[in-house]
Chains A and B, each alone.
Chain A
Amino acid sequence: AQKVTQAQTEISVVEKEDVTLDCVYETRDTTYYLFWYKQPPSGELVFLIRRNSFDEQNEISGRYSWNFQKSTSSFNFTITASQVVDSAVYFCALSDSSGYSTLTFGKGTMLLVSP
């Protein structure tokens, strides 16, 4: 069975601080996919990144960066120089090789960025 753990329920930071959201996953599959989604108060889940299990390269996109470490089954997400607009709930998710039908979400981390 798949499992995603986001141990941080809520994080509060002041604007311009860096913040890291943790994600630890469990799966028995050798091929799997990891995701991060952002859910602002409007409700829509916004896709941020997808990473497959064979690609351990870290990725940077603007102020966002992701650190994927298979050895520790972690896929952490860092926001550099946080902004108020980053305030949202962030979900880490995992699917096996059969795809999106098996997408398992973590419980989410609420990020509050204050001015």
Chain B
Amino acid sequence: DTEVTQTPKHLVMGMTNKKSLKCEQHMGHRAMYWYKQKAKKPPELMFVYSYEKLSINESVPSRFSPECPNSSLLNLHLHALQPEDSALYLCASSQDTSGASNTGELFFGEGSRLTVL
């Protein structure tokens, strides 16, 4: 079982809806990430939170709004999405963002599969 939990696993929403994706980890990690993965493509980084502060936004449209209420939780608020935003949204966490962190692992959740109608 993954130690990064994402809910919901599946979400269908209309273009006018407002919804949120949630991610939780209890490994004491201080860095959390949102990735977007389209079918048959590699994951693409969207946002990075380090010590609960947004450190990277990869020019993601404002209809995606991340939030990190505390070190264990990461949300992605969705509003006015487009059908092309349909994808698998993966949350990940690591001890910190440093490449030299001693565990060397970036833990991923199972993802939330989003369909925008």
Contacts and interface: CB of A to CB of B under 8 A. Distances in A.
A44 B2 contact: yes
Nearest to A99: B99
B104 A33 contact: yes
Contact of B99 (A43, A97, A107): A97
Contact of A99 (B2, B40, B100): B100
Q: Is the interface of B mostly helix, strand, loop or mixed?
A: loop
Nearest to B110: A44
Interface string B62-99: 00000000000000000000000000101010101111
A46 B111 CA distance: 12
B112 to A, nearest CB: 9
B106 A103 contact: yes
A99 B101 contact: yes
Interface in A18-71: 31-33, 35, 37, 42-47, 50, 52
Contact of A43 (B101, B106, B111): B111
Contacts of A97: 99-100
A31 B98 CA distance: 12
Given A105-B43, A108-B42, A100 B108 contact: no
Nearest to A45: B108
Interface of B: 2, 31, 33, 40-43, 45, 48, 55-56, 88, 90, 92, 94, 96-101, 104-111, 113
